[in-house]
Amino acid sequence: MTEKAYEVAHLDELERFPVDEEGLVWRPVRRRLGIQAFGTNAYTAEKAGDRVVEEHFERDGHEELYLVAKGRAKFTLGEEEIDAPAGTFVYATPGTKRGAVAVEPETTIVAFGAKPGVVFEPSAWEDIFAAFSYAGKGEVDHARELITGAVQRRPDEWQGHFNAACFEILYGDKESGIAHLQRAHELDPERVAEATVKDTDFDAVRGDPRVMAIAGSG
C-alpha cells in the first residue's frame, strides 16, 4: 500500500481553537495537512473589531505573509493602516510592527512563515493551543499528552513549563502545576514573575507561599 500523495481541506473544515477571550480563533493548517517545510495557520475573528493578527514584531529575520481568505481586515504596519478585503496579500518585512483587526465578522487570515536559510522546525506551542481547547471540551487526558509532548520537545524553554503549570492547576495536580511553575521561573525569572501576577489560572493557588514568592520576584 502506498502513502497518500496529497491532502485536501476546506477552510470551513479546519478545527477552531479559541486563543483568548477577545474572540481570536486559531485554525490549524500545518498540522491538518502535515506540512513540515514551513509554518502556516489560519486565524479567525468572530466579530468585527476583534483582532485577527496579534500586534507583534518578528525580530530574528523570520518572514511572514498574510492572505485575507475571508471577510475584511484592517492591518497596522508600522505607523500605517492598510485596508485589506478578501484576496489581499500582506507582507511585512522582519522587524516591522504588525497587527490586524477584523472589519467584518468571521474575517479569516491565513499566515505563512519561515526564516530564510534555516531548516523549519514546527512550533511545540501549537500543541499547547490545542490542548487547552481539548481540555475545555472534556478531553483532559488527550490534552495532557499534548502538553507533556510540548514540554519534552522544549525542556529548557519557560513557556512550556508555564503552560503546563496553568494546565495542571486548572485540570489536574496542583503540586505538579507549582513544580512546573518553579521550573519556568528558573528558566526566565522576570517574565514568569510578570506572567504569574497577570494570569488568572493561578488564582486557585495564589496564596501558596511558593507562588507568592515567584509573583513577588519580578
Same domain, 110 and 193: no
Same domain, 86 and 134: no
Same domain, 83 and 170: no
Range of the domain at 102: 11-114
pLDDT value for 217 = 76
Q: 65-100: per-residue pLDDT in tens?
A: 999 999 999 999 999 999 999 999 999 888 899 999
pLDDT of 105 above 80: yes
Here the CATH number for the domain that contains residue 129 is: 1.25.40.10
Total domains present in the chain = 2
The closest alpha carbon to 132, from 159, 177, 184, 171, belongs to: 171
pTM: 0.76
Same domain, 87 and 138: no
Mean pLDDT score, 141-169: 92
